[in-house]
Each structure stands twice: as structure tokens, then as C-alpha cells.
Structure 1
Amino acid sequence: MISAGSLLIAIIFAAGVWLLFSRQWLRTIMGILMLSHAINLFILSSGPMKDPLPQALILTAIVIGLAIQTVLLVLAYFAKRYQNINDINNLKEKE
């Protein structure tokens, strides 16, 4: 029988994949964040609580995820502000 925690992790993962395939900047960024949170929850639920290694890996993943989130949000902000781009496919290299 599937536990409620496993079902929640699967729902978060599926929502992250669905958002990742969107064309809008913010939805794509949110999809990446939801995927990372689902993976962190999966690692946390799969290991025993007395082992500190999964907890250290999750803490490191949270810090790296926060840095990636900041860079992506700044990139999306400047793309929207200076080139008025909301769709990822419209992002072009300047010639």
C-alpha cells in the first residue's frame, strides 16, 4: 500500500515536471524548484533518520537550489525588463 508521504512526493514531482514543460519563465523556474523539493523529500524519506549523510546531502541540495533559484529569477527579471520576453522560445542571442 502506498503511504501518504510517497503519494505527496509523487504529486509534487509530477507537478514539477508539468511546470517544467511550460514556455513561461516563472513556471519553468517553479518546475525546477518543485522537482528539487520532491527529490529532497524522497532522499529524506528513503534513508534512516539516524544516518547523518542523507541530511547533509539534503542541506547541501537546498543551498545549491537556492543559489540556482536566485540566478534564474534574476535572469528572468532582466529578460522581462529589457527585452520584454515572457516566452522562453523568444529568447534570442543579440547579433
Structure 2
Amino acid sequence: KLKARVKKLEKLNKVKSCKLRRLKKVGTSQHVESSDDVENVIAASTPILAAKPKTLTITATPTVSTRRRKGVVIRDPEEELHTDTPA
């Protein structure tokens, strides 16, 4: 059983190495063909500044910081009803 597992793993490793060799060969041939395209992409990706970018001014507004307390808060719905909205 152990020998069968070893053979299986060795086969998988051989397949992986063959795939890597094939990818390596394909990658080098494509690299030679695509070297001219890289120069065009670099030239096309340079930014052209035609208009001034708009800047946003954000003013800090004073906020009331309320700390949220952890735990269970039990409230009486009748009390909240009377304090929040007059009935």
C-alpha cells in the first residue's frame, strides 16, 4: 500500500515538472514576441494633465461623542413613549 502511494506521488511530480517545462518554453517564446508591446503600453500609460484636479475642503464639525456601553440595557417602553413623544 505504501509503495503504491509512493508511485502515485512520483507520477504526479513528473506530470508537474513536465507542465512547468512546457509553460517555461511557451513563456520564453511569448516574451520575445511581446517585448515590442511593452514599450507601447508604457508610452500609453503616461498621465497627461490637461485640467486642474478639484480639491475638496472638508471642515471639521464638532460632534458629540457618546460612548457605547457594553452590556444589556433594559428599558421600559412606556417610559420611553412618554419622554420621547407626548401622547
Q: TM above 0.5, one fold?
A: no
Higher Cα radius of gyration: 2
- What TM-score results when the alignment is normalised by the length of structure 1? 0.34
- What TM-score results when the alignment is normalised by the length of structure 2? 0.37
Q: Greater helix share, 1 or 2? A: 1
